[in-house]
C-alpha cells in the first residue's frame, strides 16, 4: 500500500486512518560534484529499518543507470513525489554520521552558497581502520621476588601511572609478550579505555586576578548555555603572554566537570604545537588532536575515540569543528584573528561563524581568544580582558624611518640590535613578508621589467634555485644575463625578499646562525618543525622569514624582533590591509621578551606616521580597533554590512565583466536594499581574465542564496565560455 508521501497533509491522513504504516521514505544526498544532483532525493528506506534510524547513514543508492554513495539527511519525504519501488537504498557501512552533524552540514551548505554533497564531505567518517589503543595499568599488588629484568622494567615504567601500551613498548622496549605475562600474573591490567587516573585533569597554576575575573565570567556563560540560554559568544582579549590559554583551559575543565565535551580550534597545529601540547598535558587521555599529518589509521582512531566519548576534548584546525563529539559544552577559537579559519575553497565556510552555529545547536558556549582580535569580534562579542603579561612587560617598540635611516633592508638600528645578539647571546626574529631574493628585476638602461606570461604580475627573483618565479602560478623562468630588449647587462634588483635578508645577515654576522622560514622552505615536508626546533635550540640564532615567524609559537630568549618592511602589506587594495598589518606587527612584537628576558622590537617603515604603525608601536590594540570600526562604519564595511563576493574567471578578457554585468542587473532587482560594487576587472591569473562583483548587505545568508542561484542560472554561458564562477560569503581577502 502507498500513501501520497509527497504531500504535506500525509501526516493528517495518517492520524485519521486506522494505523496504516507510513511508507518509510528517506532523503538522500548523493555524494557527487555536479551541482544539480548534489541536493536531497527521495528513496525508500532499507527494508525492516525505521526511517529515522538511518539518518546519517552512508548508503548506496541507484541514480539513473548508476549507483552512487550518498548520505541519508532526513527521514520522511522531501518535495518530490513518492519514490518508485526500485529506488531503495542499501546501508553501506555500519558507520552513521551523528544527525546533528548532518544538520550542521546542510546549514553550512545553505549559508555559504555550497552544496550539501560538498559540506557532507566535512562530516564523513574517515576511511582508515582504527587499531584500538590499549592502556596498561599497574595493579595494587605486591611485586613477587622472581621477575625477569624486562618485567621489572615494565613495572617500574608504570610506577608513575597508567600508560599507553604502544608508547610503553617504544619508550622502554618492553614486548607485547612481556605485558601478556604480567597480565596473566595479575600484576597489570590491560584495557581499551583510559583508566580514570589519566582522565582527571591536571591542576593548573593559581590564577592571576585578571584571569580569575575572566574565568568566573566564562564559567557563568558556560553554565548559562548548558542551562538552555543563549549567552553571547565571548572574546578573550589578552596581550601576548597574558595567560589566555590558562583561562580557556579552565573553561574546558568546567565543561568537562558538567559532563560536556569541548572543541579547541587552533589555526594550524604545526604552528601552534605548544598550545596543543598544553591541552594534551592538562587533559591527558581525554584529548584527541586532529591534524593533517595523521595517517589514515590514526585519523580513524581519533574519530573512533571521539565517537565513543573516550576523547571529549578535541584540538585541531577548522575541520576539528566537525568532530563527532556528543554533548558539546564549549568551543574555543584560539588566535581568532587568523585567516586560516576561513576555508579558501568550496565550501568557503568560516569556522568562527560555524562554531557559533554548532554551539547553539548543542547548548554550548563559545570563546574566541586573541591578542589582536578582528574588528568584527571586537564589535559583536562580549569582551574579557587580560591587560598584562604574566611576569613581565611588553617589549618597547622603536620605529625606524627608512626614508632617513638608510641601509634597507638592514638599517643602522637593526644592525646594532643584531650585533648585540651576536655579542650577548639570545635569539632574534626578522619578519619580511616577501619570499625570494628581490621583488623584481629591471633593466637599468631601458627600464624593461619581467612579467609572468600568464598572470599580470612581475616575476620575483629567487636565488636557491636561481630563477624568476611567479608567486601566483608558480611559473619559472631562467634569470637572463642581459636585457632581452636592449641587450644591456645591467639588470637591477628591486626590493628585498627573505633570501636576500638571510644572505645579508649571515654575511654581516658570522657569529649568528641564520635560519629561514617561508613557503619555499616549508614546501619540504617536515621542514617547518625542523626549522622551529633548531631555532628554539640554538643560541645566537636569527629566524628570518615571512609572516610564518610571527604566529603563535613561543620561544624563550627572543631579545629582538624586527619588521624589516612594515608597510609592505599596506599597499594591497583590500580594506583589511591595515587590520592585517597591525595584527602582524603586534603579534611579531609579542614574540620578543617572553620568559623574563628583556626584549626589544624594531619596526622599519617608509611611512612611520601612518596610523597603523603609530598605534602598533604603542601596542594600542583597543585604540586601533575602535578607530578601525569607526572607519568601517563610515565606509559601510563589515561588521556594519556583510560582504558577498562573486568572482568570474575566463580565458576571454571580456567574458568575466559581461557575465557579472548580467548577475549585477538581476541582483539589483532581487536585492534592492543591498549595495552593489562593480563588476571590476582584476589582474589576470594563470592565463585567465578575472573580475569580481561585491555586494554589501545586511542579510548575507539571503544574499548568498540569491547570488548562488543567479550564478547557477549562468551555467550555460559559463560552460560555453570555459568560464568559472565563485560565490564567497564573508570573503576574507579581496
Ligand atoms: P597567551 O596565551 O596569552 O599568550 P600563555 O597562556 O601562553 O599566554 O601564558 C604565558 C605564560 O604564562 C605561559 O608560560 C604560562 O604557562 C604562564 N602562565 C599562565 N597563567 C599563569 C598563572 N596564573 N601563573 C603563572 N604562570 C602562568
Ligand atoms: Zn603567473
Residue 167 lies in a domain: yes
Of 78, 8, 68, 82, which is closest to residue 32 (Cα–Cα)? 68
Share of the chain above pLDDT 90, in %: 53
- Asked whether residue 514 falls in the same domain as residue 418, the answer is yes
Position 89 scores a pLDDT of 78
Query: How far is the C-alpha of 626 from the C-alpha of 615, rounded, in Å?
Result: 12
Query: How far is the C-alpha of 480 from the C-alpha of 489, rounded, in Å?
Result: 9
The 10s digit of each residue's pLDDT in 359-373 is 999 999 999 999 999
Cα 130 off chain centre by: 25
Contact status, residue 647 vs residue 692, Cβ threshold 8 Å: yes
- The ligand whose atoms approach the alpha carbon of 687 most closely is 2
**How many structural domains is the chain composed of?**
5
Average pLDDT over residues 514-521: 92
Of 720, 706, 643, 709, which is closest to residue 677 (Cα–Cα)? 643
Tell me the best of 206, 235, 245, 594 to mutate to test the pocket of ligand 1, counting ligand atoms within 8 Å of each CB and taking the most.
245
Cα torsion angle, 45, 49, 51, 57, sign: negative
Task: Decide which of 593 and 22 is more confident.
Answer: 593
Residue 273: pLDDT above 60? yes
Task: Decide which of 173 and 542 is more confident.
Answer: 542
Residue 590 lies in a domain: yes
Query: How far is the C-alpha of 334 from the C-alpha of 352, rounded, in Å?
Result: 10
Given 633, 654, 681, which residue is the final one in a domain? 633
Q: Is residue 250 very low, low, confident or very high in pLDDT (cuts 50, 70, 90)?
A: very high
- Asked whether residue 617 falls in the same domain as residue 522, the answer is yes
* Cβ 245 under 6 angstroms from ligand 1: yes
Residue 227 lies in a domain: yes
Query: How far is the C-alpha of 674 from the C-alpha of 682, rounded, in Å?
Result: 22
Position 595 scores a pLDDT of 64
Q: Which residues pair with 401 in a beta bridge?
A: 605
Distance 461 CA to ligand 2 centre (A): 13
Q: What's the CATH number where 422 sits?
A: 3.40.50.300
- Asked whether residue 629 falls in the same domain as residue 646, the answer is no
Query: How far is the C-alpha of 496 from the C-alpha of 434, rounded, in Å?
Result: 8
Residue 82: pLDDT above 80? no
Query: How far is the C-alpha of 346 from the C-alpha of 364, rounded, in Å?
Result: 27
Average pLDDT over residues 202-206: 91
Contact status, residue 493 vs residue 408, Cβ threshold 8 Å: no
- Asked whether residue 279 falls in the same domain as residue 406, the answer is no
Given 123, 147, 168, which residue is the final one in a domain? 123
Contact status, residue 244 vs residue 367, Cβ threshold 8 Å: no
Q: Which of 268-277, 308-317, 638-647 has the lowest mean pLDDT?
A: 268-277
The 10s digit of each residue's pLDDT in 595-654 is 666 789 999 999 999 999 999 999 999 999 999 999 999 999 999 999 999 999 999 999
Residue 461 lies in a domain: no
Of 46, 44, 45, 71, which is closest to residue 57 (Cα–Cα)? 71
Q: In whole angstroms, how far apart are CA 80 and each of 25, 42, 43, 395? A: 11, 7, 10, 65
Distance 80 CA to ligand 1 centre (A): 57
Q: What's the CATH number where 47 sits?
A: 3.40.1440
Q: Which residues pair with 315 in a beta bridge?
A: 264, 289
Query: How far is the C-alpha of 200 from the C-alpha of 222, rounded, in Å?
Result: 20
Share of the chain above pLDDT 70, in %: 95
Tell me which DSSP letter residue 51 carries. G
Of 526, 516, 523, 559, which is closest to residue 540 (Cα–Cα)? 559
Q: Is residue 18 very low, low, confident or very high in pLDDT (cuts 50, 70, 90)?
A: low
Coil, strand or helix at 729: strand
Query: How far is the C-alpha of 27 from the C-alpha of 80, rounded, in Å?
Result: 10
Contact status, residue 591 vs residue 517, Cβ threshold 8 Å: no
Q: What is the DSSP string of 232-287?
A: PPEEEEE-TTS-HHHHHHHHHHHHHHTT-EEEEE-S-GGG-HHHHHHHHHHHGGGE
Residue 5: pLDDT above 60? no
Coil, strand or helix at 700: helix
* Cβ 207 under 6 angstroms from ligand 1: yes
Position 646 scores a pLDDT of 94
Contact status, residue 402 vs residue 416, Cβ threshold 8 Å: no
- The ligand whose atoms approach the alpha carbon of 684 most closely is 2
Output the residue whose Cα is nearest ligand 1's atom 23. 207
Contact status, residue 466 vs residue 441, Cβ threshold 8 Å: no
Residue 563 lies in a domain: yes
Look up the domain containing 667 and give its range.
642-729
- Asked whether residue 304 falls in the same domain as residue 236, the answer is yes
Which atom of ligand 1 is nearest to 206's Cα? Answer: 23
Q: Is residue 1 very low, low, confident or very high in pLDDT (cuts 50, 70, 90)?
A: very low
Contact status, residue 423 vs residue 555, Cβ threshold 8 Å: no
Query: How far is the C-alpha of 160 from the C-alpha of 158, rounded, in Å?
Result: 5
* Cβ 208 under 6 angstroms from ligand 1: yes
Cα 645 off chain centre by: 21
Residue 134: pLDDT above 60? yes
Helix pair 165-172, 176-184: axis angle to 10 deg: 120
Q: Which of 29-38, 191-200, 291-300, 615-624 has the highest mean predicted lDDT (pLDDT)?
A: 615-624
Position 387 scores a pLDDT of 93
Distance 479 CA to ligand 2 centre (A): 16
Residue 129 lies in a domain: no
- Asked whether residue 190 falls in the same domain as residue 87, the answer is no
Task: Decide which of 571 and 506 is more confident.
Answer: 506
Position 120 scores a pLDDT of 95
Coil, strand or helix at 166: helix
Q: What are phi and psi of 324, to 5 degrees?
A: -80, 50
Q: Is residue 155 very low, low, confident or very high in pLDDT (cuts 50, 70, 90)?
A: confident
Neighbours of 38 (CB within 10 A): 20
Position 24 scores a pLDDT of 84
Distance 405 CA to ligand 1 centre (A): 37
3-class secondary structure for 199-216? Answer: CCCCCCCCCCHHHHHHHH
Average pLDDT over residues 500-516: 95
Position 596 scores a pLDDT of 60
Position 14 scores a pLDDT of 41
Query: How far is the C-alpha of 706 from the C-alpha of 59, rounded, in Å?
Result: 31
- Asked whether residue 152 falls in the same domain as residue 297, the answer is no
* Cβ 48 under 6 angstroms from ligand 1: no
Q: Which residues pair with 90 in a beta bridge?
A: 60
Asked whether the bond before 212 is cis by omega within 30 degrees of 0, the reply is no
The 10s digit of each residue's pLDDT in 455-504 is 988 899 998 888 999 988 889 999 988 898 898 888 888 888 999 999 99
Query: How far is the C-alpha of 626 from the C-alpha of 579, rounded, in Å?
Result: 12
The 10s digit of each residue's pLDDT in 685-704 is 998 999 999 999 998 888 88
Q: Is residue 102 very low, low, confident or very high in pLDDT (cuts 50, 70, 90)?
A: very high
Cβ-based burial of 19 (10 A; exposed 0-12, middle 13-18, buried ≥19): exposed
- The ligand whose atoms approach the alpha carbon of 468 most closely is 2
Coil, strand or helix at 316: strand
Task: Give the containing element (helix H, strand E) for 544.
Answer: strand 541-545
Output the residue whose Cα is nearest ligand 1's atom 24. 205
- Asked whether residue 624 falls in the same domain as residue 665, the answer is no
- Asked whether residue 258 falls in the same domain as residue 308, the answer is yes
Position 123 scores a pLDDT of 95
Q: What are phi and psi of 412, to 5 degrees?
A: -60, -50
Contact status, residue 511 vs residue 539, Cβ threshold 8 Å: no
* Cβ 605 under 6 angstroms from ligand 1: no
- Asked whether residue 423 falls in the same domain as residue 360, the answer is no
Contact status, residue 369 vs residue 265, Cβ threshold 8 Å: no
- Determine how β-strand 491-494 pairs with β-strand 541-545: unpaired
Length of the chain: 734
Query: How far is the C-alpha of 292 from the C-alpha of 674, rounded, in Å?
Result: 39
Coil, strand or helix at 721: coil
* Cβ 107 under 6 angstroms from ligand 1: no
Contact status, residue 594 vs residue 624, Cβ threshold 8 Å: no
Average of per-residue pLDDT values in the chain: 88
Q: What is the DSSP string of 609-678?
A: TSHHHHHHHTT-HHHHHHHHHHHHHHHT-TTTSEEEEEEEEESSTTHHHHHHHHHHHHHHHH-TTSEEEE
Q: What's the CATH number where 723 sits?
A: 3.30.70.360
Give the environment of ion ligand 2: residues with CB less than 5 A.
452, 454-455, 470, 472-473, 475
Residue 194: pLDDT above 80? no
Given 152, 172, 197, which residue is the final one in a domain? 197
Residue 10: pLDDT above 60? no
Residue 202 lies in a domain: no
Contact status, residue 37 vs residue 30, Cβ threshold 8 Å: yes
Query: How far is the C-alpha of 520 from the C-alpha of 527, rounded, in Å?
Result: 10
- Asked whether residue 347 falls in the same domain as residue 287, the answer is yes
Residue 475 lies in a domain: no
- Asked whether residue 377 falls in the same domain as residue 421, the answer is no
Residue 342: pLDDT above 60? yes
Q: Where are any strands of DSSP class E within 144-232? A: 163-164, 188-191
Amino acid at each position: 500500500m502507498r500513501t501520497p508521501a509527497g504531500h504535506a497533509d500525509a501526516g493528517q491522513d495518517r492520524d485519521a486512518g486506522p494505523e496504516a504504516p507510513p511508507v518509510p521514505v528517506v532523503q538522500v544526498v548523493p555524494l557527487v560534484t555536479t551541482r544539480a544532483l548534489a541536493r536531497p532525493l527521495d528513496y525508500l528506506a532499507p527494508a525492516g529499518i525505521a526511517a529515522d534510524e538511518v539518518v546519517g547513514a552512508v548508503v548506496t543508492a541507484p541514480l539513473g543507470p548508476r549507483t552512487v554513495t550518498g548520505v541519508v539527511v532526513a527521514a520522511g519525504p522531501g518535495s518530490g513525489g513518492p519514490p518508485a519501488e526500485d529506488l531503495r537504498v542499501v546501508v553501506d557501512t555500519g558507520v552513521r554520521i551523528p544527525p546533528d552533524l548532518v544538520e550542521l552540514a546542510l546549514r553550512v551548505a545553505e549559508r555559504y552558497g555550497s552544496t550539501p554533497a560538498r559540506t557532507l564531505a566535512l562530516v564523513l567518517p574517515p576511511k582508515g581502520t582504527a587499531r584500538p589503543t590499549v592502556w596498561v595499568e599497574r595493579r595494587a599488588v605486591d611485586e613477587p621476588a622472581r621477575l625477569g629484568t624486562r618485567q621489572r622494567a615494565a613495572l617500574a615504567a608504570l610506577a608513575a601511572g597508567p600508560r599507553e601500551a604502544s608508547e610503553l613498548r617504544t619508550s622502554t622496549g618492553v614486548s607485547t609478550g612481556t605485558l601478556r605475562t604480567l597480565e596473566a600474573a595479575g600484576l597489570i591490567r590491560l584495557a581499551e579505555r583510559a583508566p580514570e587516573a589519566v582522565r582527571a585533569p591536571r591542576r593548573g597554576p593559581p590564577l592571576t586576578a585578571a584571569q580569575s575575573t575572566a574565568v568566573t565570567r566564562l564559567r557563568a556563560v558556560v553554565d548559562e548555555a548548558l542551562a538552555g540560554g543563549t549567552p553571547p559568544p565571548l572574546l578573550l582579549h589578552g596581550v601576548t603572554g597574558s595567560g589566555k590559554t590558562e583561562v580557556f583551559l579552565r573553561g574546558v575543565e568546567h565543561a568537562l566537570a558538567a559532563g560536556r565535551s569541548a572543541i579547541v580550534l587552533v589555526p594550524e597545529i604545526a604552528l601552534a604545537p605548544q598550545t596543543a601540547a598544553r591541552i594534551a598535558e592538562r587533559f591527558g587521555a581525554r584529548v584527541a588532536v586532529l591534524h593533517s599529518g595523521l595517517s589514515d589509521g590514526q585519523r580513524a582512531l581519533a574519530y573512533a575515540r571521539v565517537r565513543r566519548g573516550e576523547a571529549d576534548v578535541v584540538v585541531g584546525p577548522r575541520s576539528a569543528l566537525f568532530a563527532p563529539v556528543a554533548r558539546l559544552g564549549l568551543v574555543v577559537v584560539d588566535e581568532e584573528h587568523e585567516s586560516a579559519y576561513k576555508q579558501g575553497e568550496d565550501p568557503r565556510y568560516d569556522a568562527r561563524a560555524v562554531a557559533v552555529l554548532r554551539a547553539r545547536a548543542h547548548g554550548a558556549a563559545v570563546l574566541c581568544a586573541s591578542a589582536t582580535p578582528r574588528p568584527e569580534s571586537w564589535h559583536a562579542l562580549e569582551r574579557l580582558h587580560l591587560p598584562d603579561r604574566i611576569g613581565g612587560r611588553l617589549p618597547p617598540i622603536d620605529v625606524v624611518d627608512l626614508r632617513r635611516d638608510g641601509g634597507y633592508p638592514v638599517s643602522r638600528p637593526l644592525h646594532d640590535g643584531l650585533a648585540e645578539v651576536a655579542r650577548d647571546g639570545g635569539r632574534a626574529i626578522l619578519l619580511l613578508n616577501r619570499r625570494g631574493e628581490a621583488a623584481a628585476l629591471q633593466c637599468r638602461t631601458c627600464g624593461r621589467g619581467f612579467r609572468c606570461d600568464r598572470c599580470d604580475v612581475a616575476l620575483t627573483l629567487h636565488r636557491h634555485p636561481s630563477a624568476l618565479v611567479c608567486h601566483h602560478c608558480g611559473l619559472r623562468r631562467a634569470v637572463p644575463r642581459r636585457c632581452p630588449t636592449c641587450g644591456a647587462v645591467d639588470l637591477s634588483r628591486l626590493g628585498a625578499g627573505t633570501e636576500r635578508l638571510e644572505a645579508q645577515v649571515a654575511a654581516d654576522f658570522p657569529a649568528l646562525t641564520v635560519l629561514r622560514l617561508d613557503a619555499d622552505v616549508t614546501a619540504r615536508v617536515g621542514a617547518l618543525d625542523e626549522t622551529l626546533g633548531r631555532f628554539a635550540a640554538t643560541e645566537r640564532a636569527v629566524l628570518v622569514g615571512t609572516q610564518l615567524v610571527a604566529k603563535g609559537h613561543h620561544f624563550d630568549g627572543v631579545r629582538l624582533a624586527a619588521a624589516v618592511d612594515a608597510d609592505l602589506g599596506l599597499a594591497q587594495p583590500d580594506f583589511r590591509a591595515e587590520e592585517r598589518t597591525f595584527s602582524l606587527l603586534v603579534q611579531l612584537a609579542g614574540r620578543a621578551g617572553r620568559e623574563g628576558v628583556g626584549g626589544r622590537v624594531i619596526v622599519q617603515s617608509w611611512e612611520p606616521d601612518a596610523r597603523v604603525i603609530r598605534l602598533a608601536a604603542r601596542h594600542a590594540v583597543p585604540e586601533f580597533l575602535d578607530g578601525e570600526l569607526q572607519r568601517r562604519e563610515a565606509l559601510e564595511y563589515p561588521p556594519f554590512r556583510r560582504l558577498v563576493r562573486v568572482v568570474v574567471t575566463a580565458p576571454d578578457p571580456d567574458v568575466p565583466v559581461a557575465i557579472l554585468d548580467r548577475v549585477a542587473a538581476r541582483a539589483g532587482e532581487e536585492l534592492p536594499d543591498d549595495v552593489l560594487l562593480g563588476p571590476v576587472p582584476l589582474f589576470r591569473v594563470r592565463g585567465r581574465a578575472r573580475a569580481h562583483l561585491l555586494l554589501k548587505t545586511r542579510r548575507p545568508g539571503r544574499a548568498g542564496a540569491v547570488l548562488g542561484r543567479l550564478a547557477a542560472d549562468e551555467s550555460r554561458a559559463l560552460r560555453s565560455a570555459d568560464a568559472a564562477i565563485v560565490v564567497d560569503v564573508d570573503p576574507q581577502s579581496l
